[in-house]
């Protein structure tokens, strides 16, 4: 049985459109105008138990709105969804004990209390036995390297340390489904790496179903084999991450290293592909996939090539171009 099933999920927001000036405010008292904004438009997908799926899209694409509906915080305008067999917005107690939602820009820990006291409060809410609580906290704080920060006030923690504590609070009751919205936002590269490694290990060992949104492609590449891409509220791609490159990037990057500074003129190179970069002794070209082999043969014949590299276009560039469309 799938962990998450979404069918035709749609969410429309109705917002008041205020006219400018005092006269506009007076007119609004008697006759209001509204705008309809479709945040999520007929979204459908299925996620199996234990999957770790990336949920990608530009700002305003509908990612967070979808996660909030799956968490039961928002009612959809239409459509259906089931998570672990439950309808999220019915907010059954049995369901709320089996999922967790972590928003990277929201706090769930008490700002003025030490992190440990907030974790103890969560443990009481979920009815977690004390021995299990101590064991879970010890394990997770060791994995995230924040054990010595448990008795520090949350307001005095760094952003990375606070996010790690927020993650521990979300996983304290060992949910079967974890919804993560930008968990590494604003973190330094070291903290990002620690959080990524923790999530990967947790998903592998606990088989927790994770739906992850992130603007950092390093997160997606390190954690997710499958991605769902949403834009303007609609699903534009659902499949393996490596298929994104095959489907949306019809070119590769060829870098040739030449003896000396000679490497042909820019005009002579443009017949092979787009000149991306040129430095003394090195030339990088963007070449159509179906022309890579003949272009390489021609370059080897015409130029004093010392070495040649062929690589895929970075996945973040592919996603950026996809969003730009």
State how far the Cα of 101 lies from the Cα of 103, in Å rounded to an integer. 7
Kind of pairing between the strands at 78-83 and 4-17: antiparallel
Neighbours of 96 (CB within 10 A): 16
Indicate the fold that domain 250-324 takes in CATH. Answer: Alpha-Beta Plaits (3.30.70)
pLDDT in tens, 264-309: 677 777 788 888 888 888 888 888 888 888 888 888 888 888 888 8
Q: Which two tokens stand for residue 48?
A: 């199996």
- With residue 38 as reference, give the H or E element that holds it: strand 33-47
Interval 2-13: pLDDT, tens: 999 999 999 998
Task: Delimit the CATH 3.40.50.300 region(s) of the chain.
Answer: 4-246
pLDDT, tens digit, for every residue of 141-184? 998 989 899 999 989 988 888 989 999 999 999 999 999 998 88
What pTM does this model have? Answer: 0.81
Class of domain 4-246: alpha beta
Task: Determine whether 197 is exposed, middle or buried from the number of CB atoms within 10 Å of its CB (0-12, 13-18, 19+).
Answer: middle
Residues of the chain with CATH 3.30.70: 250-324
Which residues have C-beta within 8 Å of that of residue 276, sequence separation ≥ 6? 253, 284, 285, 286
27: tokens are 């007119």
């Amino acid at each position: 049985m799938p962990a998450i099933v979404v069918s035709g999920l749609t969410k429309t927001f109705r917002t008041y459109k205020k006219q400018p000036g005092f006269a506009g405010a007076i007119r609004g008292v008697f006759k209001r105008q509204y705008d309809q904004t479709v945040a999520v438009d007929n979204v459908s997908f299925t996620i199996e138990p234990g999957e770790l799926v990336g949920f990608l899209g530009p700002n305003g694409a509908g990612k967070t709105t979808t996660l909030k509906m799956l968490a039961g915080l928002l009612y959809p305008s239409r459509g259906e969804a089931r998570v672990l067999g439950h309808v999220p917005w019915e907010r059954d107690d049995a369901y709320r004990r089996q999922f967790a939602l972590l928003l990277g820009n929201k706090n769930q820990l008490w700002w003025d209390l030490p992190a440990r006291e907030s974790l103890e409060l969560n443990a009481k809410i979920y009815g977690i036995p004390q021995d299990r609580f101590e064991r879970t906290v010890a394990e997770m704080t060791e994995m995230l390297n924040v054990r010595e920060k448990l008795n520090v006030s949350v307001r005095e923690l760094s952003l990375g340390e606070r996010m790690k504590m927020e993650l521990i609070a979300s996983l304290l009751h060992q949910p079967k489904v974890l919804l993560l919205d930008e968990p590494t936002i604003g973190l330094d590269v070291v903290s990002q790496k620690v959080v990524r490694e923790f999530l990967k290990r947790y998903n592998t060992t606990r088989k927790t179903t994770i739906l992850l949104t992130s603007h950092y492609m390093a997160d997606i590449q390190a954690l997710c084999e499958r991605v769902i891409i949403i834009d303007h509220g609609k699903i534009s791609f659902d499949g393996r991450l490596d298929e994104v490159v095959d489907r949306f990037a019809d070119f590769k990057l060829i870098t040739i290293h030449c003896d000396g500074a000679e490497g042909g003129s820019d005009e002579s190179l443009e017949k092979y592909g787009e000149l991306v970069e040129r430095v003394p002794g090195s030339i990088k070209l963007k070449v159509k996939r179906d022309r890579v082999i003949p272009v390489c043969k021609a370059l080897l014949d015409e130029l004093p090539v010392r070495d040649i590299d062929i690589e895929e276009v970075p996945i973040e560039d592919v996603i950026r171009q996809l969003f730009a469309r």
